Amino acid sequence: MKTISYKPKDFNWTRWKKADMHAAAEAAMAGVKSAKDAIKRIAAQDRTFANTIWPYERAMREVGTLQCKLHLLASVALQKDTRTAAHSTVERIHAKLVGLLYDAGLYRAFKEYAARSEKLAPDAERLVAFLIRDYRRMGMDLAAAKRAEVKKNGKLLNKLTLAFQKNLNEYHDEIRVDRKELAGLPESYISGLARDSKGKYMVTLKYPDLHPFLRHAQDEARRKELIEKYLRHGGIQNVAILQKALKLRERNAKLLGYKTHAHFVLEVKMAKTPERVLEFINGLVAHTRSAAKKEVTELTERKRKETGDTKTKLEFHDVSFYAELVRQQKFSLDSEKVREYFPLEFVLAAMFAVYAKLLSVTFKKLSGFKLWSPDVVLYEVADAKGSRLGYFGLDMYPRPGKYGHMAAFNTVAGSAADFTIRQSVERIAPVCFLVGNFPKPGKNRPSLLSHGEVDTLFHEFGHIMHFTLGNPRFASQNSFAVAGDFVEMPSQMLENWTWDRKILKKISRHYRTGKPLPDSMIDGMLAARNFLEAYGVTRQMVLASYDMALHLKPPKTAAENSTLMMKLNKKMLGIEMPKNSMFGAGFGHLMGEYDAGYYGYAWSKVYAADLFTRFEKEGIMSSRAGKDYRNLLAKAATQDEMKMITAFLGRKPNDKAFLKQLRQS
C-alpha cells in the first residue's frame, strides 16, 4: 500500500485565519450530512459494509481530522485571535456534529446492517461492533426525552471542556524576585528569566521556570509563594467549570443506566469496573506505603538539619528542594551538572538514532514547509527500504498562550484512502506534532535538558512513533484510539532506554567539551533511579484516588472539591497542601479525556514493565524484539489490547516486574 506524499501546500491549514476555519467546518459538516442522508435512504435488505459503514467512517475521518487540526491550533498558534478562532470553531463543529449524529435513523441503519451478518475481516468486524456500542452509549436506546437530555448535556460538556483548556493555556501568573532571592539557582537559569521595568526577575508558572525554582531556590518563602500560585492556576473559573462538568457527567451516566460516571467510562477500558480500579490503587498503596513514609521522613529530617528546627514539618513546597539536596548528598549527583550533558539538538539527533535502529525506520528533516511558527520543524518517517510511513513535527519552546506542558497532538490519522479489497489502494499518511516547553537557547548556551526532561522526551516521542507506525485501514482505529488505560503503555516502556548505561553514553554530550556523561555521573543516576519512587507512585495514587472520588460521588461544592484533594494528600503522603489550593482548576487531565481514567498511567506502567522484560532478556537494542514491538505498534486499535500484549510476550502478562521495581526503591 503506497503512502501518499505531502507537499508544502498540504500544511496551509497551520496558518489558517478565522474565515478559513469556518469554511473548512462548513465543508466537513456538509460531508457528514450528505453521508448520513445517503445511508438512511438504503433499504435494510440492500445494506453492505461499503454502502452503510464505510461512508460514515470516511465522513467522520474528515471531520475528525479537522477537529484535531483546530485543537492543535487552539493550543499553539502564535496569535491569540487565531487560538480563539480555532477554539470557537471546534465548539461550533461539535454543536453541529451532535445535532447530525444523534439520529435514531442512523443508529437503526447500523443495526440493520449488523443483522445481515456480512462476512468481514476482523478489523472491520471490530469497527462495526464498536460503532453500535458507541451509539448505544450516546443514549440511542433511550426514550426520546431522555435521549434529548443526554444530547444536550453532551453539547454542554464539550463547551466546558474547551473553555477549561483555553483558560489553562491563557492563564498567566508569576512571582517577581530580586537577585538575592534567586540564591541556589544556576546562572544559566537566572540569565534566562525575563525582567520587569524595575529590574525584578519574573518566575512564571511555565515548567522551565517552575521546576528548577522549586528544586533549587533557597528562599523558602518564595518557593511557597510560587507553589501556591501554581496550585491555583486555571483560576476560580475552572473550578466552577469542573463542578458543572461533574454534575453533567453524573446526570448522563444515570440517564444511560450506569451507577456512576466512573462505571460508564470504565466499561470500555481494560480495567472494566471502578471496583477493579480501586483494588489496583489500594494494592499499589499497600506496596508503597511503608517505603513512601520512610522517604518523607528522610526529607523531613534533612529539612530539620538544614533549618536547625527539630520540630519543623515538611511542607508541600519543600519536597522538590529537599529531594534535590538528599539526592546530591546520597548519590553525589548535581542535576544541574547533569543538565550540561543534554543539549536539546544533540539529544534529539541521538534519540532519533536509537528509535531508528530499534524500530527499523529513518527520519528525514524537511525544508520548505511553512508552519505556524519558525520554531516548528517537520520530519518524514520512512521504513528501512525508504517507503514513506508518516510525518511528525516538533515545537519545543515555550511562548505566551501556548499549551503549557508536553504532549503529542495527532492531526491526520493514517488509514486506507478508500475501502476496497484491492491491495494497491493508497494510504493516507499520518501526521502528528510533539509540543514541548524546554528552556529556550541563550546567546552562549543551548537549550539544556534535565535527565527527567530527556526521559519525558523519550516517552512523548514514543507516542509519536505509536501514531506514525500504526497501520490501520480505518482512521477510527488509529493508535490513539486504544483503550485509555493502554495508551500510555507503549511510551512508558520506551522510557527504559534513558536508564541504560550504553544508551546514556550515546545520547549525552557536554555542550562545551563534547564529552559524554562520565561513568561516575551515570553510576549516580542509576543508583538514584528509584530514589523517591515509592513517594512518586503514592503521589500518582493520590491523583488517581482524587479522580475516582470525583466521579464516584461528585463533591457538592467547589470548596469541597479542593478540600478532597488536600485530605487525600495529607492521608496518603502525610503532607499538607496550602489551604488556598484549587488543585482541580489546573488538573487538565480531568477535562482532557482522563476523567475516571487517571489511574491508567500507573495501570499501563505495570504492563510496560512486563513488556520491557523481553528487552532485558534479549538486549535493549534487540532487532528481533524491536521488530515484534513495531508490529505491536502497527496494530494500533485493531485488536484487543490484552491480546496484543500477550502476543508480544508469548505469555499472559503479570505485575512481577513492576513490583520488583518497587521493592528496589
Q: Tell me: pLDDT of 401 over 80.
A: yes
The residues near 79 (Cβ < 8 Å, ≥ 6 apart) are none
pLDDT average, residue stretch 605-630 = 96
Cα–Cα dist 165/586, whole Å: 9
| Residues with catalytic function | 460
Q: Tell me: pLDDT of 146 over 70.
A: yes
Q: Tell me: pLDDT of 593 over 90.
A: no
Q: What is the pLDDT of residue 442?
A: 85
Domains annotated on the chain, with CATH = 8-101+103-137 (1.20.1050.40), 174-230 (no CATH), 344-527+601-663 (1.10.1370.40)
Identify the residue whose cell numbers are 529539612. 303
Cα–Cα dist 439/435, whole Å: 13
Q: What is the pLDDT of residue 332?
A: 86
Cα–Cα dist 387/378, whole Å: 17
Q: Cell digits for 161? A: 471542556
Q: What is the pLDDT of residue 636?
A: 97
Q: What is the pLDDT of residues 475-533, one digit of tens each?
A: 999 999 999 999 999 999 999 999 999 999 999 999 999 999 999 999 999 999 989 99
Beta bridge partners of 282: none
- The pTM for the full model equals 0.89
Q: What is the pLDDT of residues 233-256, one digit of tens each?
A: 999 999 999 999 999 999 999 999
Q: What is the pLDDT of residue 422?
A: 55
Q: Cell digits for 226? A: 510560587
Q: What is the pLDDT of residue 10?
A: 96
Q: What is the pLDDT of residue 420?
A: 66
Q: Tell me: pLDDT of 662 over 90.
A: no
Q: What is the pLDDT of residue 443?
A: 83
Q: What is the pLDDT of residues 79-114, one digit of tens each?
A: 999 999 999 999 999 989 988 999 999 999 999 999
Q: What is the pLDDT of residues 273-287, one digit of tens each?
A: 999 999 999 999 999
Confidence of residue 207 (pLDDT cuts 50, 70, 90): confident
Residue 413 · residue 475 · CB < 8 Å: yes
Residue 414 · residue 472 · CB < 8 Å: yes
Q: What single string gives the DSSP state of each residue in 184-207?
A: TS-HHHHHTSEE-TTS-EEEESSH
Cα–Cα dist 598/600, whole Å: 5
Query: Cα angle at 482 between 479 and 485, to 5 degrees?
Result: 130
The residues near 5 (Cβ < 8 Å, ≥ 6 apart) are 388, 429
Share of residues in the chain with pLDDT > 70 (%): 99
